[in-house]
C-alpha cells in the first residue's frame, strides 16, 4: 500500500520569531560573545541551543547579567520594571519583542486610559501574559483560561469592559471563552484587531486541513511552546492522533505503527531544518512526500529599532 507524508504550509518560523533570532545573531556578530538573552529568545530547544553555541547566554533573571552587558529581550515581551533595570544598569538593550505582542501591551495602556476594565484571555503564568499584565501598573487584570473561569469571574458589572488575549491561543478554545464572556457581559468589546496573531491562526487552519488527509499528525516544536501545543490539540480535535515532537531522534516510531498517511507541521518557533530531517527520514521509510499549501504567508517585520540604531552608529 502507498505510504504518503503530507507536508503542510504554512508551518515553522513566523515573522516575529525570524526577527528575534536574527537580532541575537546580529548582536553576536557586532559585539561578539557573550550576548545575554533574557528568557529563551523563542520557545524551541534547537534554536536556543544553536544560539548558545555561538555565544548567546540565556538567563531567567536580569540579576544574572553583568552591568553594561549587551542584552536581548525575547520575542515574548518584558515588563516595564525590566526595561527600567536595563537602563539603570547601563546595559545595551536590543528589544526583540514581537510587534504583535507589543500591540497588546499598548492596548492595555490605551484601554485603561479610556476607563475600561480589562480581562485577559491567556495561559496563567505564561511569560507573554506576565509582560502584558505588568503594564497595568498595580491594577489587577483577571486572567481567563477556560469557560469555567468566566463562570467564576467576579468583576461586578463595569460600564466599559474589554477583553485582550495572548497571541498564541487556540482559536477554537478562545471563541468558546469569548462567547461565554459575551453571555455574561453582553456589552464587552473586543480589541480593534484580533490579538491572536496571524501565524497562530494560519497554522491552526492549516493543521485542520492536514488532519483531513492523515491518520497521524506530527507537530515539530518544544513542549514549552504554546503555539506548538495548540497545533497538536487542534489536530486531535479533528479526530486524528497527534504528537508534539522536538525532532525524530526523540520520537517513538512505534506510535506510527499502521499509519499510512502521516502529516507534518511545525510550530512558529520550530526551525525548518528539523522538518527537513524528518522528511528525509520518512522518504527512507518508503513514504512519498506531498506538499499541502493551505495559505501563503508573506509577512515580514523590520528589525528591532535598537538594532537599526546600532547598525547606523557602526555604518553596517
Beta bridge mates, 209: none
User: What DSSP line would sit under 170-192, residue for residue?
Assistant: -HHHHHHHHHHHHHH-TT-B--S
- Locate all alpha helices (DSSP H) within the chain, ordered by sequence: 15-31, 45-54, 80-88, 99-113, 127-134, 147-151, 171-184, 198-213, 226-237, 272-284, 305-314
Give all strands of the β-sheet with 161-165 in edge-to-edge order.
143-144, 117-121, 161-165
Active site residue 272: no
Q: Are strands 261-266 and 4-9 parallel, antiparallel or unpaired?
A: parallel
CA dihedral (179, 185, 191, 196) positive or negative: negative
Q: Which helix (H) or strand (E) holds 164?
A: strand 161-165
Phi and psi at residue 181, to the nearest 5°: -60, -45
From 40, 128, 135, 145, the catalytic residue: 128
Q: Which residues are catalytic?
A: 128
Amino acid at each position: 500500500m502507498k505510504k504518503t507524508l503530507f507536508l503542510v504550509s504554512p508551518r515553522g518560523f513566523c515573522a516575529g520569531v525570524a526577527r528575534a533570532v536574527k537580532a541575537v545573531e546580529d548582536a553576536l556578530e557586532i559585539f561578539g560573545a557573550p550576548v545575554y538573552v533574557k528568557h529563551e529568545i523563542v520557545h524551541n530547544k534547537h534554536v536556543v541551543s544553536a544560539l548558545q553555541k555561538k555565544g548567546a547566554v540565556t538567563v531567567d533573571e536580569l540579576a544574572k547579567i553583568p552591568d553594561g552587558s549587551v542584552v536581548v529581550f525575547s520575542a515574548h515581551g518584558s515588563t516595564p520594571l525590566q526595561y527600567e533595570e536595563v537602563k539603570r544598569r547601563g546595559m545595551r538593550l536590543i528589544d526583540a519583542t514581537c510587534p504583535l505582542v507589543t500591540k497588546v501591551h499598548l492596548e492595555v495602556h490605551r484601554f485603561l486610559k479610556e476607563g475600561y476594565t480589562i480581562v485577559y484571555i491567556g495561559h496563567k503564568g505564561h511569560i507573554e501574559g506576565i509582560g502584558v499584565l505588568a503594564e497595568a501598573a498595580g491594577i489587577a487584570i483577571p486572567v481567563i483560561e477556560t469557560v469555567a473561569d468566566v463562570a467564576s469571574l467576579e468583576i461586578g458589572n463595569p460600564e466599559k469592559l474589554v477583553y485582550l488575549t495572548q497571541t498564541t491561543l487556540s482559536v477554537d478554545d478562545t471563541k468558546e471563552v469569548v462567547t461565554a464572556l459575551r453571555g455574561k457581559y453582553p456589552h464587552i468589546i473586543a480589541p480593534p484587531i484580533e490579538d491572536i496573531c496571524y501565524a497562530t491562526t494560519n497554522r491552526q487552519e492549516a493543521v485542520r486541513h492536514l488532519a483531513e488527509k492523515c491518520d497521524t499528525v506530527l507537530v515539530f516544536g518544544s513542549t514549552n511552546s504554546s503555539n506548538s501545543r495548540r497545533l497538536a490539540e487542534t489536530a486531535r480535535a479533528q479526530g486524528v492522533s497527534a504528537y508534539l515532537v522536538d525532532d525524530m531522534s526523540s520520537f517513538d516510531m512505534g506510535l506510527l505503527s499502521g499509519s499510512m498517511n502521516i502529516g507534518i507541521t511545525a510550530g512558529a518557533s520550530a526551525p525548518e531544518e528539523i522538518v527537513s530531517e524528518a522528511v528525509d527520514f520518512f522518504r527512507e521509510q518508503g513514504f512519498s512526500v506531498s506538499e499541502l499549501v493551505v495559505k501563503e504567508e508573506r509577512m515580514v517585520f523590520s528589525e528591532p529599532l535598537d538594532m537599526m540604531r546600532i547598525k547606523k552608529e557602526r555604518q553596517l
